[in-house]
Amino acid sequence: MITATPTQHEPKNYINSDYGIKSWLLTQDHKRIAILYLIVVTAFFFLGGLFAVLIRIELATPAGDLVDSNVYNKLFTMHGIIMVFFFLIPSIPAILGNFLIPLMIGAKDLAFPKINLLSWYIYVAGGVFTLYALMRGGVDTGWTFYTPFSTSYSNSYVIATGLGIFINGFSAILTGLNFIVTIHRMRAPGMTWFRLPLFVWAHYATSMIQVLGTPVIAVTLLLLILERGLHIGIFDPALGGDPVLYQHLFWFYSHPAVYIMILPAMGVVSEIISCFCKKAPFGYSFIAFSSIAIAVFGFLVWGHHLFVSSQSVYAGMVFSMLSYLVAIPSAIKVFNWTSTMYKASVEMSTPMLYAIGFIGLFTIGGLTGLFVAALGIDVHVTDTYFVVAHFHYIMVGGAIMGFLGGIHFWWPKITGRMYADTWSKLSAIIIFVGFNLTFFPQFILGYLGMPRRYHVYPPEFQVFNVLSSAGASILGFGYLLPFCYLLYSLKFGPKAPANPWGAVGLEWQTSSPPISENFEVTPVVTQDAYQYSTREEVKVG
Amino acid sequence: MASHAVTDLRHHFENHDQQKDASTLGMWIFLVTEIMFFGGLFLAYIAYRTAYPDAFGAASNTLNIPLGAVNTAVLICSSLTMAMAVHSAAIGKNKLLITFLIATLVLGGVFLGVKAYEYHDKFVEHHVPGPNFDFKSEDAKHPVDPHNASLYFALYFAMTGLHASHMIIGAVIIVVLIRMAAKNRFTPEWHTPIELFGLYWHFVDIVWIFLFPLLYLIDPKNK
Ligand SMILES: [Cu+2]
């Protein structure tokens, strides 16, 4: 019933159950909606990457020879906006979470399939607004839209872009709402909270942030649009308003937003490491609760972005201390992953390479996060390349490594095809090397005092910038490789078995790709997750 | 009617209880997002009222407190009729359900009408922030900065405007619900949309319960 018997014609699954563009655009199947997200998110990734390429070419030489400062401002702004709001935030939740959460908990679908489809359309609508602004000339405020520059002085399409992000936010809210209700109400019989895969715990924590944080950025952008359009004075010091209030509201969302990006990646890494060590993760409940702790602490630290923005010293000290607290649950995860690998027979598959890469890069990103959370050091490195390097280690080294690891791990399940093993391992290594070559020199640049967001710089910084640009070209090549061999596998890859990695999650108990209803019969769960030692098959009907 | 209830079970749920629990939890989470959404505006209000108490007091004294009070009463009554509508659906009295939904709609309309009248007054008095804004302090000995008064009115329009837009969306949904009720779609077993909309309507009501004292009643001694 579970293992597909080799027959002449293909068994029914969610991909071949229906044909035609309409069957995709009007689908309510969470798996098909995940594919819709995958397509658009990938397009935004390469668009955002294109801006990064232009930035790195410009910075290869100290002089401003490719673009002038105005265009350069727009390049890094559009890069940031597209990567943060249209790639990183939806990437793992809306694609892998959407596809896997119902499968992992033994449900037929998310709780609200129509809302799930709606959230994709909202995401696309937000993207269209942003692309419109981009084509009209883009925005030059930085992705943070700091006032009063964005409201009074910037000569670019702030309102259209703001509206795009505002609209896009509702997509994240609805996805988070859908996940929370699904995890609460749609679990299969016997799937208790502490039998949930850690991927699901991570998404539960992520959804909490999306539901609590995103409305705040929505209202903040609404005020920003009102301020710019009607000049109501809320953020304008000339009318008694306070630009720093904007920063508080913005970072109240945008710091937790970092955890919207990294928590799902942590969930992916927990699954991969457990599978390729063939043992249960060390300290299951610690990893589960550390996700919740990160989500909760994440809401209490936004002030570390305002150390040099007229915030009081005492508030700064409190925010600094609270920021250090986030390191505890993060470190718990890192220690538990490494403990899981300790004395295990680790299988160095492609997903595992990404997972190990994640641990190393996230650790560097996290530790340098402590540098910038320290008041004294932050004053020195604020708005330098040190900060740029730090958050790229978290967002690119962490979130994108997790995303690629997850895509490689579940690709056979999603598409029913295997990809080329040598190519995928090679590209994982290329990406790791390219990433470090791109961003490690930026730590040094920042520490030496090179400010971010300038298109020209003193010649003594050139050697590190050339290293960084060289790394970026390797990294960009590394990203193109999976795009090619994964697409190739769709047509020419060997058919994937139901459980190619020998994993124990419920999603591996159904066929690859799964049938439209996910399982022939609603599964009954009789044991904890990650029972690699007993290896009893989980009963599926 | 039993067959009706069966067709309303969506394919991915095991039973009606699960479906209803899911919808209700979803609604509550949605209301939490609404609290966070309004929360940003309340924060801005608290920050500026603390910074400019005199200007905020003087500006708030230009509002029409009797009209605000009437609107508060109207909205509380509409919450009552909405609660009665939910109850009527639960005991299967469809005619009564329609009556109470219409009553809720009418009361919501009255609220919006009064609000529009108040907005009109503000417009005539040049109290709308913008190039035509003009604020003269009543207390000539202690004049307040008109810029700060403008901030008050900006927040006043943002907060009550956001609230009113929720009322308008609510009114549209009531019309849909009345049409569904007229087609006998609701049964004592299945009337989840009525229940969930009730939650929404009470939430919008509660927001106003906070807005009224914060915007209208902050400086009563100078009245
Ligand atoms: Cu932060």
Going from the Cα of A378 to the center of ligand 1, the distance in angstroms, rounded, reads 12
Q: Could you give the residue ranges of the DSSP H alpha helices within A59-157?
A: 69-81, 89-90, 98-105, 113-136
Helices and strands, number each (H, E), in chain A: 17, 0
- φ and ψ of B130, to 5 deg: 145, -170
Residue A72 makes CB contacts below 8 A (sequence gap 6+) with A55, A58, A64, A454, A455
3-class secondary structure, A283: coil
Cβ of residue A257 closer than 8 Å to a chain B Cβ? no
Q: What is the pLDDT of residues A46-100, one digit of tens each?
A: 999 999 999 999 999 999 989 999 999 999 999 999 999 999 999 999 999 999 9
Q: What is the residue range of B156's domain?
A: 2-222
Tally of residues, chain B:
223
A215/B34 CB distance under 8 A: yes
Encoded tokens for A28: 């309510």
* Mean pLDDT score, A328-355: 95
Cβ of residue B9 closer than 8 Å to a chain A Cβ? no
Confidence of residue A494 (pLDDT cuts 50, 70, 90): very high
Go through the domains of chain A in sequence order and give each one's CATH number. Answer: 28-509 (1.20.210.10)
B96 to chain A nearest CA, in Å? 30
Identify which of A270, A339, A301 has the alpha carbon closest to the alpha carbon of residue A92. A270
Could you give the CA distance from residue A391 to residue A401 in angstroms, rounded to a whole number? 14
Asked if residue A179 lies in contact with residue B25, where contact means CB atoms within 8 angstroms, the answer is no
Mean pLDDT of chain A: 93
Q: Which of A28-32, A519-523, B2-6 has the lowest mean pLDDT?
A: B2-6
Encoded tokens for B102: 């219409």
> Please, is A324 exposed, middle or buried when counting C-beta atoms within 10 Å of its C-beta (0-12, 13-18, 19+)?
middle
Identify which of A475, A500, A481 has the alpha carbon closest to the alpha carbon of residue A425. A481
Q: In this structure, which amino acid lies at residue A381?
A: V
B33/A177 CB distance under 8 A: yes
Going from the Cα of A438 to the center of ligand 1, the distance in angstroms, rounded, reads 22
For A30, B11, B53, B91, B182, the CA distances from B7, given in Å and listed in that order, are 22, 9, 58, 21, 19
Which among B12, B30, B37 has CB closest to A109?
A: B12
* Mean pLDDT score, A527-538: 72
Chain B residues touching A107 at Cβ < 8 A? 12
Going from the Cα of A108 to the center of ligand 1, the distance in angstroms, rounded, reads 37
- Residue B161 falls in which region: left (phi positive, over 0), alpha (psi -120 to 50) or beta: alpha
How many C-alpha atoms does A520 have within 13 Å on its Cβ side? 12
Residue A460 has a pLDDT of 94
Q: What is the pLDDT of residues B156-172, one digit of tens each?
A: 999 999 999 999 999 99
pLDDT at A515 over 50: yes
ipTM, interface predicted TM-score of the complex: 0.91
Q: Which of A107-121, A158-172, A237-251, B7-21 has the lowest mean pLDDT?
A: B7-21
Residue of A nearest to B158 (CA): A223
Confidence of residue B173 (pLDDT cuts 50, 70, 90): very high
Could you give the CA distance from residue A279 to residue A284 in angstroms, rounded to a whole number? 11
Q: What is the pLDDT of residues B130-152, one digit of tens each?
A: 888 888 877 777 788 888 999 99
Which among A108, A240, A245 has CB closest to B52?
A: A240
Residue of A nearest to B17 (CA): A185
3-class secondary structure, A416: coil
Find where tokens 């010293």 sit: A313
Could you give the CA distance from residue B181 to residue B174 in angstroms, rounded to a whole number? 10
The total number of structural domains in chain B stands at: 1
Encoded tokens for B147: 């810029």
Could you give the CA distance from residue A8 to residue A379 in angstroms, rounded to a whole number? 68
Residue B1 has a pLDDT of 36
**Residue ranges of A 19-38 with Cβ closer than 8 A to chain B:** none
A435 to chain B nearest CA, in Å? 37
Tally of residues, chain A:
541
Asked if residue B144 lies in contact with residue B88, where contact means CB atoms within 8 angstroms, the answer is no
Q: What is the pLDDT of residues B58-98, one digit of tens each?
A: 999 999 999 999 999 999 999 999 999 999 999 999 999 99
* Mean pLDDT score, A294-315: 93
Chain A residues touching B151 at Cβ < 8 A? 232-234, 239-241
A186/B151 CB distance under 8 A: no
A147 to chain B nearest CA, in Å? 15
Q: Which of B20, B35, B36 to mutate to test the interface with A (most CBs of A within 10 A)?
A: B36
pTM exceeds cut of 0.90: yes
CATH code for the domain of B11: 1.20.120.80
Residue B100 has a pLDDT of 97
